[in-house]
Amino acid sequence: RPGLALCAGCGGRIQDPFLLRVSPDLEWHVACLKCAECGQPLDETCTCFLRDGKAYCKRDYSRLFGIKCAQCRAAFSSSDLVMRARDQVYHLECFRCAACGRQLLPGDQFCLRERDLLCRADHGPP
């Protein structure tokens, strides 16, 4: 469809023999498809993520929109082991008692007071 498509990046008509289609309704000139945050060119060799009509590289998409650890606020990598407490997600090493600093392991009893994790010894009997 060269000549009929409008570039989602610059808004111009795509007259080039090649275009990049990221979703069924968004197409770019090859030179216009770049990460909206860092400007890294995005082509058929890398993963591209869309949000609100903007394209992002994997690193920036994860940093801006990915789930972050409730303790350290860093993003998770795909290989990270996590712990959950209600709607909060933690790196395994960040899942610690706020009072004594002891790492809480799977099976340990704890409570969540406000946003603080407390081990059984520090939150008292149930």
Whether 1-66 and 67-125 share one fold: the answer is yes
Phi, psi for 72 (deg, rounded to 5): -95, -10
Give the class (CATH, top level) of 1-66: mainly beta
Residue 101 neighbours by CB under 8 Å, 6+ apart: none
d(CA 89, CA 15): 47
Q: What residue spans define the domains of the chain? A: 1-66, 67-125
Fold type of domain 67-125: Cysteine Rich Protein (2.10.110)
Instruction: Check if the beta carbon of residue 114 is closer than 8 Å to that of residue 86.
Output: no
pTM: 0.61
Which parts of the chain sit beneath pLDDT 70? Answer: 1-3, 125-126
Residue 1 confidence (pLDDT)? 47
